[in-house]
Amino acid sequence: MSNISCVIHTYNSAQYLDACLSSVNWCSEIVIVDMHSTDETVEIASRHGAKIYFHENVGFADPARAFGLSKCSHQWVLAIDSDEIVPYDLSIKLKEIAARDLCDVARISFRNFFFGREILGSGWGYKNQVIPRFFKKGKLNYEKRVHDFVKIEDGCRIIKIIGENVSIVHFNYNDVKHFIRKLDNYTDFEVESQKYNYGKPLLFRIIYHVTRELVGRFLILKGYKDGWLGLYLAMAMAFYRSTAIAKKNLPNGANAVAIYRNYAKQLLEQYRR
């Protein structure tokens, strides 16, 4: 049987980490890259016999993923997040792939849970989100910028693993506050990385991006299957896109303060006349 390394990045991940690690204890090696947690994350990882490394916390996980990959000892690597669970049927499938050398990279479907329930549409259903998470070292590399995800080498044999029982289970967001905090962070990183070139904030451009998210998520990607929650998520992602455009084009806090102070100075000059 082929040896498999599992790499997981963590930061204050105690809430689900024990369950996460229990779902990958069949792997030959577990590599934890911790971004200096202040909760019980490291203690939990130690109890599971994981190899623990530390990485600077830069606010997002992509550099830690790249670092963790370099620490894996085995040819086959399973990369998961600390709030994800690998179901039994998927573990059997991955071991078979490694033993029979069926591919170089496997894209795995996801079952996503928001606010205590599974999301069926809006682009987060298990048939929509299929991400490369199982691969041979050297065939896939992580970029060190937020949500640039991965670079797969040319010529790789790629297969897809899609199905309700073979999907990675992802506990995304506990509540709306958690969701909004993440939205705020991700739009910051998106603007800084210049991943999307939104151009000038012309009215039609904002309308286009907002409408695309709203209609695309709720109708084309079947957000209506989740009822009013699907509508909320479509609206939230439209807000996400418009927020990224606004952050890119509006003055930041320091510039706004300078503008206000200058205007206040002009107003106060009226008292000196």
Question: Any idea how long the chain is?
Answer: 273
108: which DSSP letter?
A: E
**Six token digits for residue 133:** 């998470």
Model pLDDT, residue 156: 96
Model pLDDT, residue 200: 66
Name the amino acid, one letter, at 56.
E
Query: Mean pLDDT, consecutive 10-residue segments, the chain of 273 residues?
Result: 93 97 98 97 98 91 90 97 98 98 98 96 95 96 69 95 98 94 88 67 83 96 96 96 86 83 94 84
Model pLDDT, residue 273: 75
Model pLDDT, residue 135: 98
So where are the chain's domains?
4-172, 175-256
Q: Does domain 4-172 have CATH number 3.90.550.10?
A: yes
Q: How far, in Å, CA of 172 to CA of 179, rounded?
A: 8
Model pLDDT, residue 253: 76
Burial of 51 (0-12, 13-18, 19+ CB in 10 A): middle
What residue has token string 């909004």? 180
In 75-203, beta strands by DSSP E: 76-81, 84-85, 105-114, 117-118, 130-136, 140-142, 150-152, 158-161, 168-173
Q: In 3-state terms, the chain is what percent helix, strand and coil (to 5)? A: 45, 20, 35
Q: How far, in Å, CA of 268 to CA of 273, rounded?
A: 10
Q: Express each pLDDT in 71-121 by its tens digit.
A: 999 999 999 999 999 999 999 999 999 999 999 999 999 999 999 999 999
Model pLDDT, residue 192: 77
